[in-house]
């Protein structure tokens, strides 16, 4: 487990009342560096806790003078069909401002949510069931707003039972990404919840769980009965980005070494250069990272994604502009007006294409066949680079999509057609 000094710890009454769940909490707390007061809370306490600043640390990490470890909240998922009702009650009690994923986690909801991108011209992303077990992160990445509070569930037995229902009712989905709102290895093995999920998938034919991580913490994976049904995607960065902008995540070398170790244990490993931040010297650092990947590991797939999701003013509020390539910074500022309504800002098409082409050339120096895709990119960028990538939006294999099975080179059918009916079998968001 990571070395943490949480400023506070909250335990929901449903956790405190069940010895199995409380034992998981006790193991985590025995491993932290301090001895924070543990407060047991009820649902009725939540409005006051929120009003008292429970989410005050949920701000971009790079805007803080000092970044600390998050508050820890331990909770259980409730599979009672009352999510909408209880969320509305929280909104009313908290002045109408409740509604984010963290609020759902505090109430014990949000394990499975149906995702579909509404405007595929602006961003290509596959429709799928997204699955969650935590909300928040300890990595302190400067561009991220998921610090300050880490909510983790502990009733993994109930979770796996409901997960089995989701899989049975949606047979078209082959791979399930476990978390895009957290980095689940960080509390393991003390928490003891990710292992049972991995071993559950180890019993399933033709289904896979995908862990997306920046971690160095993989020793606990060694003896799990995963049976080749777990894929681990390392979000990988060049040296400067990893050390200066993602300070608690593993360094570039540590992440690749962790991937090598996991591969030795029989896990499928792949990489996402996401987000690619064009720092000074980014070309050389990209070449270094790509070379090390192929020296140390054998990935089945590499995905690329240039930093996006905000304008240049917000980016430089979170990331020290002195770290950035001055030519690319100037280009983003010059393009700011025309990029105002784009999902892929702050860098314009020419800048992003230059970055992707450089990474692609470096990858091809080491492997002529490995699939390379672009993540959450615009349709315009796919039209521009699809020939180089040898892929199309409907059939490319992405790092964490619903049909990205190991060693697949191309999807057998259009991914958007496969999920055209949306959630099926009567399974609803929970």
In the chain, DSSP finds a helix count (H) and a strand count (E) of: 15, 13
> What is the signed CA dihedral for 417, 418, 424, 429, rounded to 10 degrees?
-90
Distance CA 154, CA 197 (A): 12
| pLDDT at residue 273 in the model | 98
Distance CA 223, CA 118 (A): 41
Distance CA 347, CA 107 (A): 38
| pLDDT at residue 255 in the model | 98
Distance CA 35, CA 33 (A): 7
CA angle 150, 174, 415 (to 5 degrees): 105
| pLDDT at residue 423 in the model | 56
As to burial, measured by CB atoms within 10 angstroms (0-12 exposed, 13-18 middle, 19+ buried), residue 65 is exposed
| pLDDT at residue 118 in the model | 87
Q: Which residues of the chain have pLDDT under 70?
A: 418-430
Distance CA 339, CA 122 (A): 12
| pLDDT at residue 418 in the model | 60
Q: Which helix (H) or strand (E) holds 24?
A: helix 19-31
Domains of the chain by start residue, with CATH: 9-418 (3.80.30.30)
| pLDDT at residue 420 in the model | 54
Distance CA 73, CA 121 (A): 38
Which residues lie closer than 8 Å to 107 by C-beta, 6 or more apart? 43, 46, 78, 83, 86, 87, 90
Distance CA 264, CA 219 (A): 11
Distance CA 337, CA 311 (A): 10
C-alpha separations of 247 from 63, 219, 251 in Å: 14, 21, 8
Do residues 149 and 57 make contact, with C-beta atoms less than 8 angstroms apart? yes
Do residues 331 and 347 make contact, with C-beta atoms less than 8 angstroms apart? yes
Taken in order 345, 380, 280, 251, the sign of the CA dihedral is positive
As to burial, measured by CB atoms within 10 angstroms (0-12 exposed, 13-18 middle, 19+ buried), residue 113 is middle
As to burial, measured by CB atoms within 10 angstroms (0-12 exposed, 13-18 middle, 19+ buried), residue 259 is buried
| pLDDT at residue 414 in the model | 81
CA angle 366, 372, 373 (to 5 degrees): 160
Do residues 420 and 397 make contact, with C-beta atoms less than 8 angstroms apart? no
């Amino acid at each position: 487990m990571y070395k943490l000094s949480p400023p506070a710890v909250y335990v929901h009454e449903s956790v405190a009342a069940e010895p199995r769940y409380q034992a998981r909490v006790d193991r985590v707390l025995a491993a932290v560096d301090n001895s924070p007061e543990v407060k047991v809370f009820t649902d009725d306490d939540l409005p006051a806790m929120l009003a008292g600043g429970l989410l005050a640390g949920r701000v971009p990490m790079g805007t803080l003078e000092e970044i600390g470890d998050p508050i820890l909240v331990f909770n259980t998922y409730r599979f009672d069909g009352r999510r909408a009702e209880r969320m509305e009650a929280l909104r009313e009690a908290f002045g109408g401002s409740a509604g984010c994923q963290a609020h759902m986690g505090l109430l014990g909801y949000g394990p499975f949510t149906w995702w579909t991108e509404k405007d595929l011209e602006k961003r290509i992303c596959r429709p799928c069931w997204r699955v969650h077990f935590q909300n928040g992160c300890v990595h302190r990445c400067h561009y991220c707003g998921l610090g300050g509070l880490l909510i983790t569930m502990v009733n993994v037995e109930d979770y796996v039972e409901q997960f089995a229902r989701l899989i049975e009712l949606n047979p078209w989905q082959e791979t399930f990404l476990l978390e895009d709102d957290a980095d689940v290895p960080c509390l393991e093995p003390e928490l003891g919840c990710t292992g049972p999920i991995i071993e559950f998938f180890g019993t399933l034919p033709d289904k896979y769980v995908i862990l997306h991580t920046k971690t160095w913490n993989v020793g606990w994976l060694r003896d799990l009965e995963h049976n080749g049904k777990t894929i681990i995607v390392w979000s990988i960065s060049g040296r400067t980005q990893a050390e200066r902008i993602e300070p608690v995540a593993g360094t570039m070398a540590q992440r690749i070494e962790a991937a090598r170790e996991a591969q030795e244990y029989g896990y499928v490993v792949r990489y996402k250069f996401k987000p690619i931040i064009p720092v000074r010297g980014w070309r050389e650092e990209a070449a270094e990272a790509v070379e090390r990947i192929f020296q140390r590991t054998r990935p089945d797939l590499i995905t690329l994604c240039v930093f996006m999701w905000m304008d240049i003013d917000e980016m430089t509020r979170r990331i020290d502009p002195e770290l950035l390539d001055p030519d690319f910074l100037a280009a983003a500022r010059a393009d700011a007006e025309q990029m105002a309504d784009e999902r892929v800002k702050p860098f314009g098409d020419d800048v992003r294409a230059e970055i992707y082409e450089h990474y692609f050339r470096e990858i091809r120096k080491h492997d002529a066949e490995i699939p390379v895709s672009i993540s959450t990119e615009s349709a315009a960028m796919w039209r521009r680079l699809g020939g180089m990538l040898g892929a199309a939006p409907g059939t490319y294999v992405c790092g964490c999509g619903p049909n990205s099975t190991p060693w697949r080179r191309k999807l057998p059918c259009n991914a958007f057609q496969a999920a055209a009916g949306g959630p099926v079998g009567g399974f609803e968001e929970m």
